Amino acid sequence: MSETLSRRSFLGAVAAASTLAPAASPVSFHVPPLRRAQHPVAVSSRNGLKSVEIAVQKMKDGLPPVDAAVLGVEPVENDPEDTSVGYGGLPNADGEVELDSCVMDGRSGLAGAVAALKNIKNPAQVALKVMRRTDHVLLVAEGALRFARMHGFVEENLLTEKARKEWVEWRERLSKEDDWVDPQENGPMGKEYVRQTGTIHVGCVDQNGDVGGCTTTSGLAFKVPGRVGDSPLIGCGNYVDNDFGVAGSTGRGEAVILCNGAHRVVRYMADGRTPTDACLDALKDLVRFTKVKRLLRADGKPDFQVNFYAVNKRGEIGGAALYPSKHARCDEDGPRVVDSAALFG
């Protein structure tokens, strides 16, 4: 039998079968979608108290959840005092600010992302454009910058004086063996400086039960130039499934990438777990994957922090972290910061 005939008979069989199938959906789900939310709700990292309020208001105004999330993170991207995101973010090891962001839209099932983007302070807006104006998901570095320029984003110096001084002090403290003189011990960073992996994630579910999410960051402070964390990677720093909910992360990006954190949380919600339990179970997996000694404390627990945030399609909000932490949320009771569940107290 020729390949053509074989293909034709296969297509005929498919056509015959499809006349017997229910007309409404071309596919069947093994897990029924959750009942939808009644009110718009949003979750965010602790630095997103204003963001969740903005996002909920934008959804009430009729914007899709993904747009609401992007508008929610914008004031934090613009804030020079937040050294973990956008303008004022701490630079890479060469003193250059490189930003990462992604967005995902549940209704269309599409996503957009940029990584190692320089000179543009609102990478989440650029990620949204990648989603809407290209057939791609992720643009990086020079290509992402050229795309941003093409869409009229204005280039500016993102390195504030505050961030520059922190970078210089980090560089001077790096080694006793190099030619940089250590700053005084009581310098602004102090002796116990911990490299920052701050970020903002906003996850949204609207009154129609549609789901969207956004994560944006300047990434690990003083990273190796070109390093990309979890934030712009779909399924790692942010993931949306319109039948079940949204999840995102902040903290050590490498650990989140290695367990596909946000996707894992959403899958656990699809399996019936509450958002907080889904976050906790994903954290347990992350701990299981953390094996090398340099990443462990003396008691065997991870030597870093990771937070997961989640909202299910019903509008139930949850958050959990490896160690005690907080998250921001907004529902019909308004915006507030609350404790996250902690895997290790």
What residues make contact with ligand GLY under the rule CB under 6 A?
197, 199, 217, 219-220, 229-231, 250-253
CA angle, 218 as apex, 212 and 222 as ends, to 5°? 150
Helix (H) or strand (E) holding 53: helix 49-60
Provide, rounded to whole angstroms, the least separation between the CB of residue 221 and ligand GLY.
Answer: 9
Provide, rounded to whole angstroms, the least separation between the CB of residue 249 and ligand GLY.
Answer: 6
Catalytic residue among 199, 215, 216, 290: 199
Q: Which is nearer to ligand GLY, 209 or 229 (CB)?
A: 229
Provide, rounded to whole angstroms, the least separation between the CB of residue 232 and ligand GLY.
Answer: 9
CA dist 109 and 314 (Å) reads 18
Phi-psi region of 100 (alpha: psi -120 to 50; beta: other; left: phi over 0): beta
CA dist 327 and 43 (Å) reads 7
Q: Which is nearer to ligand GLY, 122 or 197 (CB)?
A: 197
83 is catalytic: no
Which residues does 325 contact at the CB level (< 8 Å), separation at least 6?
A: 46, 305, 307, 319, 339, 340, 342
Which DSSP category does 233 fall into? Answer: S
194 burial level (CB within 10 Å; 0-12, 13-18, 19+): exposed
Q: Which is nearer to ligand GLY, 64 or 229 (CB)?
A: 229
Provide, rounded to whole angstroms, the least separation between the CB of residue 15 and ligand GLY.
Answer: 48
Q: Which is nearer to ligand GLY, 196 or 207 (CB)?
A: 196
Q: Which residues are part of the catalytic machinery?
A: 199
